[in-house]
Amino acid sequence: MSKLSIEQLDLGDRRVFLRADLNAPLEGETVSDDTRLTAVIPTIQHALKAGASVVLASHLGRPKGKPAPEYSLEPVAERLAALLGQPVPLAPDCVGEETQARVSALRPGEMLLLENLRFHAEEEANDEGFARQLAGLADCYVNDAFAAAHRAHASIEAITHHLQPAAAGLLMRRELEALTRILERPERPLAAILGGAKVSDKLALVEHLLERVDALLIGGGMAFTFLRALGHDVGRSLVEADRVETARRVLESARRRGVAIVLPVDAIVAPGIDSTEGRPVGIREIPPTQMGLDIGPLTVDRFATALRAARTIVWNGPMGVFEKPPFANGTLGLARAVVEGPAFSVVGGGDTVAAVTRAGVAGRIGYISTAGGAFLEFLEGRKLPGVEALTEA
């Protein structure tokens, strides 16, 4: 990896500003899913064992630039303390005299969690003055928040103008290594699986992947725009009419490049997403009053066959309305197919990660990304502000 890593820093008696993504879902005043908290634990422990004191910072939710009790990081502090087995005190703010005094009192091996960065509008504005205040809390900077690396925010980008060196945390390093492996040195054949609702959300990704992959499997709502481009009548299924011609160009581009685009041959259809059951029909037999809400069993088999020869697989996006039980089987079946072969697999995006977990195969995925938007933007070939800001190794 070309960026400096926390493992390359001498942390003894130094104060580390550690930007993490602790944006965990809450139920009342309790963290309901601590996946993102668990992911940053190794970096925290590395810094503390190396003799550093840690100033931990994160956002939570969208408080719109002002303090809001429901977005306090207090539940996160409590859960982190349980995970780490040591106190994680919460500062009353992320800047200001009291916060500065509490940071100054930290001893090696101790840590302090700053209150929600987004209680200040200057955070999302990437404000230099606010970044300078944050930088004044520490001696060096570590970013372990890959899931927020596509945001040019003060604690992610501007802070590095005032606090150096700026290194990647252990989670950030693993994310970059896994995704760089896919884009720059994949073992071939490389297959990409894309799902989700809309072609427009992933058009840049599709076009970028066509230059790199050997096969592209498309499911979810976005598949119906491609099927319409091939002349299929898909009933009431989701179709972006203004993207049909674009889909046609993508299919032609793939043909010229020799990239196999694999589309559904059947679908689970129902009158609407609130239906309590669906039935499989061939793509050519979707009734005018029905809509496709999942890939069908024949498509699961077709996708599994296409993946059998792959040596690298990247997957983002469910194959249907995954949150509804009648329309989850396609996504779950695909999750099992991804791990059947010898391929190194990388999965990203909340629904996709939930799918491999529900299918019981998460432990067999090569790498599970904590990121959604940053995952997609990296695969699109876009430069991420939070990565660009890090010091070169």
CA pair distance 263, 206, nearest whole angstrom: 14
Whether 149 and 182 map to the same domain: the answer is no
Choice among 14, 132, 198, 311 that is catalytic: 198
Whether 182 and 324 map to the same domain: the answer is yes
What's the angle, vertex CA 77, arms to CA 74 and CA 80, rounded to 5?
Answer: 150
Q: For residues 172 and 19, is the Cβ–Cβ distance under 8 A?
A: no
Choice among 65, 372, 373, 381 that is catalytic: 373
Whether 245 and 305 map to the same domain: the answer is yes
Residue 329 forms part of a structural domain: yes
pLDDT value for 1: 60
Out of 113, 144, 171, a domain closes at 171
Half-sphere exposure in the Cβ direction for 226 (13 Å, CA): 26
Residue 167 forms part of a structural domain: yes
Domain count, the chain: 2
Give the Å distances, CA to CA, from 49 to 87, 105, 128, 237.
Answer: 15, 18, 32, 55
Q: For residues 111 and 45, is the Cβ–Cβ distance under 8 A?
A: no
Is there a catalytic annotation at residue 36? yes
Supply the range of the domain harboring residue 309.
Answer: 178-379
Pairing of strands 30-31, 26-27: antiparallel
Is there a catalytic annotation at residue 383? no
Query: pLDDT below 50 — which residues of the chain?
Result: none
Whether 143 and 201 map to the same domain: the answer is no
Whether 261 and 362 map to the same domain: the answer is yes
Whether 65 and 134 map to the same domain: the answer is yes
Whether 143 and 49 map to the same domain: the answer is yes
Choice among 61, 65, 350, 366 that is catalytic: 350
Residue 158 forms part of a structural domain: yes
pLDDT value for 204: 84
CATH number where 349 lies: 3.40.50.1260
pLDDT value for 112: 98
Residue 287 forms part of a structural domain: yes
CA pair distance 391, 167, nearest whole angstrom: 6
Choice among 36, 173, 202, 243 that is catalytic: 36
Residue 385 forms part of a structural domain: no
CA pair distance 86, 351, nearest whole angstrom: 32
DSSP code string of 144-189: --GGGTTS--TTTTGGGGTS--EEE-HHHHHHHHHHHHHHHSPPSS
Whether 185 and 151 map to the same domain: the answer is no
Whether 121 and 249 map to the same domain: the answer is no
Out of 128, 147, 171, a domain closes at 171
Whether 58 and 149 map to the same domain: the answer is yes
Whether 150 and 11 map to the same domain: the answer is yes
pLDDT value for 156: 98
Is there a catalytic annotation at residue 373? yes
pLDDT value for 148: 96
Residue 392 forms part of a structural domain: no
Whether 79 and 128 map to the same domain: the answer is yes
Out of 171, 197, 216, a domain closes at 171
Helices H, strands E: what count in the chain?
Answer: 14, 16
Is there a catalytic annotation at residue 228? no
